[in-house]
A and B are shown apart, each in its own frame.
Chain A
Amino acid sequence: MLPYPLLLLYRNFKRFKSTFFINLLGLSTGLACALLIYLWSSDERSFDRYHALDGRLYQVLENRRTAAGIETQTGTNPLLAEVLRREMPELEFVATTTPVPFFPGFTLAAGGQHLNAVPKYADPAFFQLFSYPLLVGTPATVLRDKNGIVLSQALATKLFHSPQNSLGKAVEWQMADRKQTCLVAGVFAEVPRNSSEQFDCVLPFAAFKDQMQMGEVIKWDDDGPFTTYLALKQGADPAQFQAKLAGLLKTKSAQAQAQGRTLFVRPFAAGYLHGTYENGVATGGRIVYVRLFALITALILVIASINFMNLFTAKASRRVKEVGIRKALGASRAALVGQYLTESVVMALLALVVAVGLVQLVLPQFSALTGKPLALRWEWPLVAASLALALGTGLLAGSYPAFYLSGFQPAAVLKGKLPTRAGDVWTRQGLVVLQFTLSVLFIVAVVVVNAQLAFVQRQPLGYDKAHVLRFDTGGKAARQQAAFLAEVKKLPGVGQASSVLGGFLGGHHVEEMSWRGKRLPVATMLINYDLVETMGLHLVAGRSFAPQFRADSAAILVNQTLVAGLGMPDPVGQQLDGRRIVGVVRDFHFESLHEKIKPLLLQLDPSINTVLVKLQPGAEQATLARLRQLYAAYNPGFPLDYSFLDADYQAQYVAERRVAVLARYFAGLAILISALGLLGLAAFTAERRRKEIGIRKALGASELGIVWLLTGSLTWLVVGAIALALPLSYLLLERWLEGFAYRVAWQWWYFAAAGLGALLVAWLTVSVQAWRAARRDPVLSLRAE
């Protein structure tokens, strides 16, 4: 026997079966969306939160005044940590590290095995600051010995079969043309997946300083690519520390003061979600997407709740008599509100059960889409979140019907007639308009996001990214870079080959430069001979670098934006910061299309070891095999890890692509749930107007006329929704598009497609019901009355 309230619900659900299923479907898909987004966003929020010192852990950032406003960077001077340690007693630990990724083509070798690895150099306090549990070694000492290395568990196991077995063993690391043997001083457990930095081994920063002979050359005037982390002592005031830190640089360097460089700290864990700065102010980062998806989920739940409200109040005509009876028998309004809210909450809880099933079903695809291995782990945060979601949705969905139904005077409804109140009709219609407004908004978003992504694909980039292979060389191939590249070029199937620092796309160092009194921030790209040819860059003046010109080591190429920015009338032959311009390349997008093309200079450095190879199309696999063979001949045992530049290019738009796919799903769901609601509403309208339809038919109305009678008003509601949604979608998506420096132009058909799509769905939904009502025998309808 069910408890009394559940029994009532069960009987009510049985009585209104189609409404029950429409509500269940709508609420459960809404809740499933919410659960998925919850899983995703709580994973996003968990990044970098697992450190024991979280809350006291900070990263030092630097602001710098430039012509374009304040620029914020994570790179700091390597001298900073030592000074902080000495001068700031409120600090418990400080460490300088190299950022990740920083070293291309780093390999480790031991016992004849060669493995690619991502290294990180760090000060001794690193393992005290961050909670990477050591399986071998102690946090305070493991990085003390300059000759030591700390390996990840996986790396230690691969090289030495077990972490314990690896202690004190010799490992040779190799990077470009450098190599050195060091001894394993410790082993750390794998870096958790929800760490913003992934690395395989940690080496002492002191060793890095020695290798780079930094001791003599680094001054306070320099900034650095190095990251500085610190932990405040328990009870220390972050604001006070911040105030001290802000004034530090100007006491060390007059140049830093002149450049308006100041330091500040950001909670370490905040960096992952709040990583974007504009003009010195934190403006978001990944958190934008967390918020966006949370908002979209909330909207989907609102749409589903509206179905519930609308269907509940629409069928109220059948339930008002019950309200009257209960009130006559002494039920207070609160008791009735409680009853109806219980009904909606139980409905939402039922929907939650279905939603969990749906989530299980789509979780593999959703994990693939988001690139996260998400799982439903029923620990209390998930349980609490699920229950809160269901409860919140239930209360939201039930609130309007509960107050609506319980508000009638018993005498007015005891006869079973629903008093028509203009306000109720308006509310119901308003809710339908709201639903369709949101649906149309989603559809426009799908169209625009996809149009922008297509635009990104089509946009001429100023270089040819097709069939370009990218890999980092190490060992002999790096030491004999020129010979290696010459042999690569000779391979059948290879069009051209060159090398570049980093990855060609993005991540270039920006520095202010001046020419005849004009200052400009300029990005620098270090390139090898033949890069212009390999990438299909277009020279508009002068020439590219060539080995026969000895002086090219001090020569540069510049792009058109730099020429225009500095107002150079005849750039070739001009000197820029002591370097002679030998050629001008046509502007090309060396960053994502989010960024405007910046002033760029290309500087020759034949030693850089990120190789780009242009393959001739058609025989890529055969050419790749030859390339592997050649690389193996240079570096026996070293793996060749490569990627295609095209994929690197696409990777710049991962977030947008995710938005595009999710927007598609969300829009589909929104329109589906709205249409379901409309279906239910149309059924009730047809039911309510049954007598009217009978009379009209008896008087000679055609079936088509009846269909229009029933669909007309709902059609106008959807038209109203479209009218509202279009300007709204324009405003919202215009903001999204503003994030791109190069963006698609608005087309009238984006709106037309969304509007017509919504109208069509609505019309098909409603007319099925209307047609059924129109075909009913009028005699039956009239007799029923």
Chain B
Amino acid sequence: MIKTENLEKVYRTEEVQTKALNHVSLTVEQGEFVAIMGPSGCGKSTLLNLLGLLDEPDGGSLQLLGTETSRYSERQRAELRKRSLGFVFQSFNLIDELTVFENVELPLRYLGVGAAERRQRVEQVLEKMQLLHRRNHFPLQLSGGQQQRVAVARAVVNAPPLLLADEPTGNLDSASGHDVLGLLTELNEAGTTVLMVTHSEHDARYARRVIRLLDGQVVLEHSRSQF
């Protein structure tokens, strides 16, 4: 599903050059639930952005779903994102001007799905997330937990094979966090590959495998049983 070799990312300002990722090589198989852990500034989010094609690597190779993407154009990356990737962010990243329904249907619009089918699929996923009654609300009218459920609904509405979650419980109370992690687990059990960035040991236990980063390098990989 994912294979990186010597992946590199460097941030440059006028005076300083920071290596955010340093020769990161890892593999994630289809159907896995992997957690990426590490302290603040270790490069977790940078790695996730690269894997999600939200940013371009400065070196190394990145294979997603069996194809090399490190030299992809902006258009190709957008295409792959909308067909195969789902995102859940720490800060939900819902569009405030759109209702719950409109936020969730957005990926389907970009895929060119017809209005009737969009409606059906969005309602289905909202029902599953127990959000159907909130369909016409705007994000700011919802609680944090509800907002993150909307974000998860949006991430999975187009049934992507790979779901990327960046600190999905970071802004939630523990009960809501538990709900969201349960949702991710369910999705994983249904066949979606899940890659989650977290600094919470508790959250990482939901994953079957953990990759630990420090200063932009993979320092340890282990399975859930080795916590």
Q: Do A and B assemble together?
A: yes
Q: Is the CB of B79 within 8 A of A322?
A: no
A411 in contact (CB, < 8 A): yes
B93 CB-CB contact with A under 8 Å:
yes
Q: Is the CB of A15 within 8 A of B97?
A: yes
Q: For the complex, what is the distance from the CA of A621 to the CA of B121, rounded to whole Å?
A: 89
Q: Is the CB of A335 within 8 A of B54?
A: no
**Looking across the interface, which residue of chain B has its beta carbon closest to that of A10?**
B97
Q: What CA separation (Å) do A101 and B52 show in the bound complex?
A: 81
Interface residues of A in 313-333 (CB under 8 A from B): 321-322, 324-333
For residue A702, CB closer than 8 A to chain B, the reply is: no
A414–B93 CB distance below 8 A: yes
**Which of B55, B96, B106, B111 is within 8 Å of A326, CB to CB?**
B106
Instruction: Given the known inter-chain contacts A333-B74, A333-B75, A411-B49, please indicate yes or no for A327 contacting B54, CB distance below 8 A.
Output: yes
Whether B81 is near chain A, meaning CB under 8 Å from some CB there, is yes
Query: Does B83 sit at the interface, judged by CB under 8 A?
Result: yes
Residue in B55, B83, B97 whose CB lies within 8 Å of A8: B97
Residue of A nearest to B166 (CB): A414
**B110 an interface residue at 8 Å Cβ cutoff?**
yes
What are 7 A-B contacts with C-beta separation under 8 Å?
Answer: A324-B54, A325-B94, A329-B82, A330-B83, A333-B75, A411-B55, A412-B55
Contacts of B109 in A (CB 8 A): 4
> Per a CB cutoff under 8 Å, which of A11, A321, A329 touches B110?
A329
> Given that A8-B97, A12-B97, A415-B91 are known contacts, is A329 also in contact with B106, CB under 8 Å in the complex?
yes
Smallest Cβ distance from A45 to chain B, in angstroms?
Answer: 45
Instruction: Kindly list chain A residues whose C-beta atoms are within 8 Å of the C-beta of B82.
Output: 329-331
Residues of A contacting B107 with CB < 8 Å?
A: 329-330
- When distances are taken between beta carbons in the complex, the residues of chain A under 8 Å from B94 are 325
The answer to the question of A506 belonging to the interface, with a C-beta cut-off of 8 Å to chain B, is: no
What residues of chain A lie closer than 8 Å to B26, measured between beta carbons?
A: none
Give B62 Cβ to nearest chain A Cβ, in Å: 14
Q: For A15, what are the chain B residues with a Cβ–Cβ distance below 8 Å? A: 96-97
CB proximity of B82 to chain A, nearest CB, Å = 2
Q: A-B pairs with the 9 shortest C-beta distances?
A: A330-B82, A411-B55, A411-B49, A411-B54, A11-B97, A410-B54, A332-B78, A330-B110, A330-B81
Q: Mark A294-338, 1 if CB is under 8 A from B, else 0.
A: 000000000000000000000000000110111111111111000
Report the minimum CB–CB distance from A325 to chain B (whole Å): 5
Nearest Cβ distance between residue B190 and chain A, in whole angstroms?
21
The closest CB in chain B to the CB of A331 belongs to B110
Q: A480 near B: Cβ within 8 Å?
A: no
Residues of A within 8 A of B98 (CB): 8, 11
Does A409 interact with chain B (Cβ within 8 Å)?
A: yes
* Alpha-carbon distance between A321 and B97 when the two chains are bound, in angstroms: 12
CA distance A416 to B92 in the complex (A): 12
Which residue of A is nearest B76, CB measured?
Answer: A332
Chain B residue at minimal CB-CB distance from A332: B78
**What is the chain B residue whose CB lies nearest that of A336?**
B78
- Hey, what's the 0/1 contact readout for B27-62 against A, CB within 8 Å counting as 1? 000000000000000000010010010111000000
Say how far B185's CB is from chain A's closest CB, in angstroms. Answer: 23
Q: Which residues of B contact A328 (CB under 8 A)?
A: 52, 54, 81, 87, 93
Kindly state the separation between the CA atoms of A322 and B103 in the bound complex, as whole angstroms.
11
- Check if A414 sits within 8 Å of B54, measured CB to CB: yes
Complex Cα–Cα for A412 and B45 (A): 11
User: Contacts A335-B110, A410-B54: A325 and B93 contacting too (C-beta < 8 A)?
Assistant: yes
Which of chain B's residues have a CB closer than 8 A to the CB of A334? 75
Report B-chain residues with C-beta under 8 Å of the C-beta of A11: 97-98
With A328-B87, A329-B106, A331-B78 given, is the CB distance from A409 to B93 under 8 Å? no
Decide yes or no whether B95 CB sits under 8 A from chain A: yes
CA distance A321 to B55 in the complex (A): 15
Residue B212 interfacial (CB < 8 Å): no
Residue of chain B at shortest CB distance from A328: B87
**Which residue in chain B gives the minimum CB-CB distance to A321?**
B93
B residues with CB within 8 A of A: 46, 49, 52, 54-56, 74-75, 78-79, 81-83, 85, 87, 89, 91, 93-98, 106-107, 109-111, 154
Given contact pairs A330-B78, A335-B110, A410-B54, a sample of 8 additional A-B residue pairs in the complex whose CB atoms are under 8 Å apart: A12-B97, A327-B78, A329-B106, A330-B83, A409-B56, A411-B55, A412-B55, A414-B89
1/0 per position for A1-35, CB-CB distance to B under 8 A?
Answer: 00010001001100100000000000000000000
In the assembled complex, which residues on chain B have CB atoms less than 8 Å from the CB atom of A416?
91
Instruction: Specify which chain A residues have a CB less than 8 angstroms from the CB of B83 in the assembled complex.
Output: 330
Q: Would you give the shortest CB distance from A20 to chain B, in whole angstroms? A: 14
In the complex the two chains form, what is the Cα distance from A57 to B85 in whole Å?
70
| Distance in angstroms between the alpha carbons of A333 and B75 in the assembled complex | 7
Q: How far is the CB of A416 from chain B (nearest CB, A)?
A: 8
Rounded to whole angstroms, the CA-CA distance of A331 and B49 in the bound complex is 16
Chain B residues with CB under 8 A of A327: 54, 78, 81
Q: Give chain A residues whose Cβ lies under 8 Å from the Cβ of B96.
A: 15
| Complex Cα–Cα for A412 and B106 (A) | 21
What A residues does B74 contact at CB under 8 A?
Answer: 332-333
A410 near B110: Cβ-Cβ < 8 Å: no
Closest approach, in angstroms, between the C-beta of A748 and any C-beta of chain B?
A: 44
A4 CA to B115 CA, complexed, in Å: 11
Distance in Å from the Cβ of A321 to the closest Cβ of chain B?
A: 7
Chain B residues near A12 (CB-CB < 8 A): 97
Smallest CB gap from B103: residue in A: A325
Give the docked Cα–Cα distance between A146 and B121 (Å): 90
- Asked if B79 and A330 make an inter-chain contact with CB atoms under 8 angstroms apart, the answer reads yes
Q: Interface centre among B49, B97, B107, by most A CB within 10 Å?
A: B97
Residues on B with C-beta less than 8 A from A329 are 81-82, 87, 106-107, 110, 154
Chain B residue at minimum C-beta to C-beta distance from A335: B110
Q: Are A330 and B75 in contact (CB under 8 A)?
A: no
Q: Which residues of A contact B87 (CB under 8 A)?
A: 328-329
In the bound complex, how far is the Cα of B95 from the Cα of A331, in angstroms?
A: 14
CB-nearest residue of chain B relative to A11?
B97
Q: Which B residues touch A326, using CB under 8 A?
A: 95, 106, 110
Enumerate chain A residues within 8 angstroms of B52, measured Cβ to Cβ: 328
Smallest beta-carbon distance B78→chain A, Å: 4
CA distance A4 to B91 in the complex (A): 26
Distance between Cα atoms of A460 and B46 in the complex (Å):
80
> A412 — nearest CB in chain B belongs to which residue?
B55
CA of A637 to CA of B128, assembled, Å: 99
| A668 nearest CB across to chain B (Å) | 36
Q: Tell me, rounded to whole Å, the shortest Cβ–Cβ distance linking B198 to chain A.
A: 17
Q: Considering residues B46, B52, B83, which has the most beta carbons from chain A within 10 angstroms of its beta carbon?
A: B52
Give the nearest-CB partner of A8 in chain B.
B97
A324, A329, A333, A415 pick with most chain B CB within 10 angstroms: A329
**Is the Cβ of B54 less than 8 Å from the Cβ of A409?**
yes
Shortest CB distance A782–B (Å)? 21
In the bound complex, how far is the Cα of B96 from the Cα of A12, in angstroms? 10
- Please name the residue on chain A nearest to B105 by beta carbon: A4
User: CA separation between A353 and B156, bound complex, in Å?
Assistant: 43
With a cutoff of 8 Å between Cβ atoms, the chain B residues found around residue A321 in the complex are: 93
With known contacts A8-B97, A321-B93, A411-B49, A332–B79 Cβ distance under 8 A: yes
CB distance from A4 to the nearest CB of B (A): 8
Q: Which residues of A contact B78 (CB under 8 A)?
A: 327, 330-333
Complex-state Cα separation, A11 to B99, whole angstroms: 11
- Chain A hits for B85, CB < 8 A: 330
Tell me, in angstroms, the Cα distance from A568 to B195 when the chains sit together: 105
